[in-house]
Structures are given as C-alpha cells and as structure tokens.
Amino acid sequence: MQLNTRRKCLDKFATIVAAITGAPILFAQQPPTGAARPNNPAGDQPRRASHTHNGIYYFSGTGSNDGYPREDHVLVTDPFEKHVVRTMDALKKSLERNGCTMDSILHLEVFICLPHAENVPMPTGKARFDAHKAQYDALNKIYGTYFSPGKAPSRACMAVEWIPGDSLIEIVGSALVTATPAK
C-alpha cells in the first residue's frame, strides 16, 4: 500500500508543478482581453495552409471548385470524372503560380468520396466498395495524363465519407519549386 500512496503523492506533486510552471506559458498564448482580432481577409473561412518553405511548396485542400467562380461550381451530382479534371487543372494552376510544375510534385495525398445528395442513394456493402473502386479507376485514367512519362509522383489515395465544398476529390501534397513564383 505504501507504494501506491507514494505514487499518488508524486502524481499530485507533478500535477501541481506542471500547473504552476505551465500556467505562464498558457496565459502568454492567450490574446489580451478586448484586443482586436487580426485582420483576416477571408473572414471566418478556414485558412488555406499552402506555403513555401526551403524550396518546397506545400499545398492543401485543392478541390474541384477551387479557382472557379460560384456560378461555375460543380455539384456532387456531376460526374466524378469532371471533378477529377477540374481538381487536376486547379492543382496545375496553383503549382505554376508558385514556381512548380506537375513533374516537380514530390508526393500527393488524394481523398475521394461518394456523392451525398438527397436524390443519390448511398450504396452499402459490396456495392459501396465497387463504387469507390470505380472512382479509383476513373481517377487513375485521368491522373496519368497530367504527368510526363515516368514522372508521376508517389501518391496515397483514400476514400473518405465527406469532402467540404461540394467536391468529390481533394488533393494535398508538396512540390519542388523549380522557377520564380508568378504571384
């Protein structure tokens, strides 16, 4: 019993020390009360985390409606192939604006999902697997046309439940900056 009592005592002591030493750090990270929030031109929209660091362009959240005006957005009921082409085109434009090419991509993570719409029944069981497989096959046919022979980057492809922005595909990745960005 003494061992458990000592452990409890040490646990309490460690908790108190952590609270005392960590409190200034926690409070230092809090914005001052009543301080103005930083000016965010995107309003309350989530911040895009695309950036360049040490000659590598890191991009996130490229979907089928990125770079298109609201009146030209595709819907989840539009063909999956249309989503893929528009996403790959948006990715290519983003890369070029940031001094990269499709062939300078180092790695991609591709997320695909089935359409969620009232008039589209959601498949279950093997039919769901087959639907995702059909999307994967369609993705591969289009995907390969965007790269020079033998230059397709490493890639992971994941089927997910939902992607924001009425897109059935989203791409995240990194590319080597090969030219001066055109920003």
* 11 within some domain: no
What residue numbers bound the domain in which 145 lies?
51-176
Long-range contacts of 77-84 (CB under 8 A, 24+ apart): 77/115, 77/117, 77/119, 77/120, 80/112, 80/134, 80/135, 80/138, 80/139, 80/168, 80/169, 81/138, 81/142, 83/167, 83/168, 83/169, 84/138, 84/139, 84/142, 84/143, 84/169
* 151 within some domain: yes
Chain-centroid distance of CA 104 in Å reads: 19
As beta bridge partners, residue 156 has 109
Q: Are 90 and 102 spatial neighbours (Cβ–Cβ below 8 Å)?
A: no
* 4 within some domain: no
Q: What's the rounded mean pLDDT across residues 116-125?
A: 88
* 36 within some domain: no
- CA-based nearest residue to 62, from 80, 85, 78, 45: 85
* 102 within some domain: yes
Tell me how many domains the chain contains: 1
Q: Tens digit of pLDDT for each residue in 23-56? A: 454 444 444 444 444 444 443 344 456 788 888 9
- Of 35 and 178, the structure prediction assigns the larger pLDDT to 178
Q: What are phi and psi of 134, to 5 degrees?
A: -65, -40
Structure pTM? 0.71
